[in-house]
Amino acid sequence: MTGIAIDSVSMVFTLPGGGEVHALNNVSLDIKEGELVSVLGPSGCGKTTLLNIVAGFLAPTSGEVRLNHHTVTGPGSERGMVFQQGALFEWLTVEQNVAFGPNMAGKPKAETQEKVQHLLDTVGLSDFGEKPVYQLSGGMQQRVALARCLANDPDVILMDEPLGALDALTREKMQGLVLQLWKETGKTIILITHSVEEALFLGEKLIVMAPRPGRIERVYELPFADLGMSKSPREIKAGADFVEKREEILSMIWEMEEEIMGQATG
């Protein structure tokens, strides 16, 4: 099967003073090509660790991740990343940031220039190409980060709370953009988020993770991402089905948090 296979991945961090943290315990997950999977869970459930293993920045203690049948051993340009913030190169302009990947690969300038212009149009920043990135607002910076990632035409996009630092209104607008880019490009996307609403709205599949040790608690198959292109976001988010799922997952995560608190004090 093409896509991502996460096969019995465990991750144990050894602490400098001795002692171990079981960040992930025997996590398995198959992600089909072109799927948008959102991952949700309380802090400490290992969701960022999982993403870093898929990205190739961490080697799992046991198990492996395969992308199109090839075992992941390190980072690679077929897996693009979008970080929360501060991962843009502030010494470059918007255009230069977007062109970074193609330039590193030594692609012809004219071709890159055309591609960059097209991507800036897509994310709504065509007038900002010459600007230094630090002059842009937080939401615009994340648009640049998305465009920079797409410029490399990766198979998979890994998003580590890409909208986490944005204000509520900008965030909602950006969710629409992510959805639109996913539909247009057909990329496989893994999205880590703290927001239940965002995970429900964007994910075709929603993975709820639980902490201590980090594991997959539940997997939901969701219809909302497909609806997202035809109906308005507010309409979807106010629907009875959506609200019911949201409350269900929220209370599940609440219980996990309570349990952690109980362990900590008890």
Partner 1 sequence: MTDKKQPSEAAIWLGLADNTFTRQKTVKFGDASAVNSGRFYSILIVCGLIALWVLSSRLGLVKEFYWPTIGSTFDRIGLLVTEGFRNVSLWEHIGISVYRVISGVVYGAIVGIPLGFAMGLSSTARGFFDPIVEFMRPIPPLALIPLIILWFGIDETAKIFLLFLASLFIMTIAARSGVSSVRISKVHAAYSLGASKMQILRHVILPNALPEIFTGLRTSMGVCWGTVVAAELVAADKGIGSMIMIAKNFLQTDTVVIGIIIIGVIGYAIEIFMRFLERWLIPWKGKG
Closest distance of CB 8 from partner 1, Å = 25
Answer yes or no: are the C-beta atoms of 145 and 157 closer than 8 Å. no
Answer yes or no: are the C-beta atoms of 44 and 211 closer than 8 Å. yes
**CB closer to partner 1 out of 4 and 236:** 4
**CB closer to partner 1 out of 44 and 102:** 102
Closest distance of CB 112 from partner 1, Å = 13
Answer yes or no: are the C-beta atoms of 53 and 47 closer than 8 Å. no
**CB closer to partner 1 out of 74 and 262:** 74
Taking residue 56's Cβ as centre, other Cβ atoms within 10 Å add up to 16
Closest distance of CB 151 from partner 1, Å = 8
**CB closer to partner 1 out of 80 and 203:** 80
Closest distance of CB 110 from partner 1, Å = 20
d(Cα 245, Cα 247) in Å, to the nearest integer?
6
Dihedral sign for Cα 244, 247, 251, 257, please: positive
**CB closer to partner 1 out of 26 and 84:** 84
User: What are the distances in angstroms from CA 225 to CA 50, 87, 201, 204?
Assistant: 23, 27, 6, 6
Residue 17 C-alpha from the chain's centroid: 32
Closest distance of CB 70 from partner 1, Å = 16
**CB closer to partner 1 out of 56 and 63:** 56
Tokens, residue 220: 């939901």
Binding site for partner 1 (CB under 8 A): 55, 57, 74-77, 79-81, 83-84, 86-91, 100-101, 104-105, 132, 134, 148-149, 152, 154, 158
Residues with Cβ < 8 Å from 59, sequence gap 6 or more? Answer: 53, 73
Closest distance of CB 72 from partner 1, Å = 12
Answer yes or no: are the C-beta atoms of 175 and 203 closer than 8 Å. no
Tokens, residue 85: 């913030």
